[in-house]
Amino acid sequence: MSALRLQALRLRLLAPVDLSIDAGELVFLSGPSGAGKSLLLRAIADLDPNGGEAWCGDTARSSVPAHLWRRRVGLLPAESGWWAEQVGGHFPTAPDTEPPLAALLARLGFGPEVLDWDVRRLSTGERQRLALARLLANRPEVLLLDEATANLDPENRTRVEAVIADYRADAAAAVFWVSHDPEQRARMNGRRLVIRDGRISAEQPAADAAQADP
């Protein structure tokens, strides 16, 4: 798989962003609401106007059509779109999909019959887990995750964390994950960044932050 590299990526709310995430590396991003976390993920995925450049491995974003870039650099937004009436209409139809779709769905708490479900019957948490399955079924080289477990109970949060961790290890995917959950960021042991005053810096450990408070 490939690393993700950002060079002077420019968008509103943030100073130009220079960042490298190695293949197989997990990087968390936190910060106040409205600080620009989701905007940054959308800019990397080339969904919103921005300047600068991004690379997936040796491929510059500007050198490939947007739909091909987004297949390699896959975004899981906080609220995913659904265009077909049934769940199965959102998944690849090739029989050799890797990982096998039935196994992936089972790990996320679904049986194969979920593909016949009407999207309108899905709960928010079910949509969130199925959107992750849909993303991974495309085998992206980089994962951009926007609050991937925000609407999940502890059992399903654990499922999702395990699936993402295994995909990252097996596919050597670079993972850039926006998360408001400090316990999750500590539990999954990735590099931790934070947005402060429009700039991205290393997240200060809780103990150090407490000592720094007046």
Mean pLDDT within 28-36? 95
The pLDDT score that the predictor gives to residue 146 is 98
Residue 49 lies in a domain: yes
Distance of CA 210 to the CA centre of its chain: 29
Q: Are 37 and 31 in contact (CB under 8 A)?
A: yes
What letter represents residue 10's amino acid? R
Query: Into how many domains does the chain fold?
Result: 1
Residue 15: inside a domain, yes or no? yes
Residue 34 is predicted with a pLDDT of: 92
Residue with tokens 């596919």: 171
Please give the torsion angle defined by the CA atoms of residues 83, 89, 76 and 56, in that order, rounded to the nearest 10 degrees. -110
pLDDT in tens, 169-211: 999 999 999 999 999 999 998 999 999 999 999 998 654 443 3
Q: What is the pLDDT at residue 212?
A: 40
Position 94 in a domain: no
Whether 38 has a pLDDT exceeding 90, the answer reads: yes
Nearest CA among 87, 102, 108 for reference residue 156: 108
Q: Average the pLDDT over each of 78-92, 141-155, 169-183 and give the range with the smallest value.
A: 78-92
Give the pLDDT band of residue 99 (cuts 50, 70, 90): low
Q: What is the pLDDT of residue 206?
A: 59
Domain membership flag for residue 99: no
3-class secondary structure, 79: coil
Q: Does 59 fall in a domain?
A: yes
pLDDT at 63: 97
Taken as a whole, the chain contains a residue count of 214
pLDDT, position 92: 76
- Give, in order, the Cα–Cα distances in Å from 70 to each of 41, 64, 65, 135, 178: 11, 10, 9, 10, 18
- Mean confidence (pLDDT) of the chain: 91
Q: Pick the residue with more confidence: 155 or 12? A: 155
Q: Is the bond preceding 99 in cis, omega lying within 30 degrees of 0?
A: yes
What range does the domain containing 29 cover?
A: 4-81+140-212
CA 139/CA 175 separation, integer angstroms: 13
pTM of the model: 0.91
Residue 135 inside a domain? The answer is no
CATH number for the domain that contains residue 66: 3.40.50.300
Q: How far apart are CA 138 and CA 97, in angstroms?
A: 8
In a domain, 43, yes or no: yes
7: pLDDT strictly greater than 90: yes
Q: At 213, is the pLDDT very low, low, confident or very high (cuts 50, 70, 90)?
A: very low
Nearest Cα to 185, choosing from 213, 168, 204? 204
Establish if 207 belongs to a structural domain: yes
Asked if residues 16 and 10 have their Cβ atoms less than 8 Å apart, the reply is yes
